[in-house]
Amino acid sequence: MKEFNEHTTQALFEKELLTEEQKIEIANYRSLNLFSLNGELKLFLYLSVLLFTSGVGILIYANIDSIGHSILIGLLLIVTAICYYFSFKKAPPFQKEKVVFESPVMDYIVLTANLLTCIFIAYLQFQYNTFGTNYGLAIIIPTALGLFSGYYFDNKNVLSLAITGLAAYIGLTVTPQSLLQNDFYDTNALSYSAIGLGIVLLAWNYYCTQIDFKKHFALVFLTFALHLISISCLNNLTEDFWFASVVILAIATFYFYKSSYEQKSVSLFVFTVLYAFIGTNITLFRIIETINFNDFFSFLLIFSPFYFIGAIFLFIQMIKKFNTEIKNDSI
């Protein structure tokens, strides 16, 4: 990092974007070895929100018989209303561009309010069956509130929760139990729904980019779309009609590969390459299986260690190249 900073400063100086005095001042400032605790403090704030909301859920579960439903619902509603009150009171005016609270703590109060809203509505449904058998309402209401809060308060965490709720609404709920039972991967309809939702997210992100509306949310939509589309295509590669999934995955890989450079996102690049690598290997095995090259499998077993070592080496080189290119673009 130190070498990169020095290289960046020198590049700016050579391009005459910095004067000699400014270059010396920057070097003197870096020699103080100051560091920021901003990331660590935000991490602790995020953990405190998760611990608080988890504690509320445990409190309700452990004392539901002794305290009473009305009291628990009332207390939960009061705390949620207080969080929303301070959120709206301290929120900056709504704008199409990126806005921030004066205090970063308020972002986590907004997150707390939305998590408590989810707990409140889930409690109503579980205990009083408020929405009857229409369980979708119990999901879409906090999802709608989350979308509103995410955009109004410019909060990516809340927006991510809302998109997760949207996925749950169309039947993409993946709990640890359903993963163990392999429910998600046994249902092709869920895969098609996931691809559809991913395309909708990409379309919405493209529209927002064109009208300059909260363009900084692009990485959130791209990340969700990448995982939804890629995992669904990989799942469908094991089915009979796998060729269409190969085409969709190839198009998605090309699109997200370009997007990772546009967003300068290492995570988007890494997952795009990983999904493409897995999809390529599954496709090769399906082709070999279709052609029925039984004698070729013995060669694959011998060649596979060298293949994976080469793939890992190439993967590392691609990441290094990506980091170098985006750093040069930033300069």
The pLDDT score that the predictor gives to residue 177 is 45
The pLDDT score that the predictor gives to residue 176 is 41
Copy the structure tokens of residue 52.
């608080």
| Alpha carbon 77 to its chain's center | 29
**Helices vs strands, H then E, count in the chain:** 14, 0
Rg (CA), the chain: 25
The pLDDT score that the predictor gives to residue 198 is 94
The pLDDT score that the predictor gives to residue 329 is 59
The pLDDT score that the predictor gives to residue 202 is 97
| Alpha carbon 69 to its chain's center | 35
Selection from 269, 279, 204 nearest residue 244 by Cα = 279
Selection from 278, 284, 230, 220 nearest residue 255 by Cα = 230
pTM for this entry: 0.81
Residues in the chain: 331
Left, alpha or beta for 132 (phi > 0: left; psi -120 to 50: alpha)?
left
Selection from 197, 270, 249 nearest residue 228 by Cα = 197
The pLDDT score that the predictor gives to residue 271 is 95
Name, in order, each residue with C-beta under 8 angstroms of 239's C-beta and a sequence gap of 6 or more: 188, 245
The pLDDT score that the predictor gives to residue 265 is 92
Instruction: Note whether 240 and 264 are within 8 A (CB).
Output: no
User: H or E element: which one contains 238?
Assistant: none
Is residue 92 helix, strand or coil? coil
Mean pLDDT of each 10-residue bin along the chain, 331 residues long: 62 70 72 63 76 77 67 86 93 89 87 91 82 82 94 94 89 48 58 90 95 94 95 86 91 96 93 95 84 66 81 90 76 48
Selection from 321, 227, 325 nearest residue 274 by Cα = 227
Instruction: Note whether 91 and 153 are within 8 A (CB).
Output: yes
Copy the structure tokens of residue 21.
């005095």
The pLDDT score that the predictor gives to residue 175 is 45
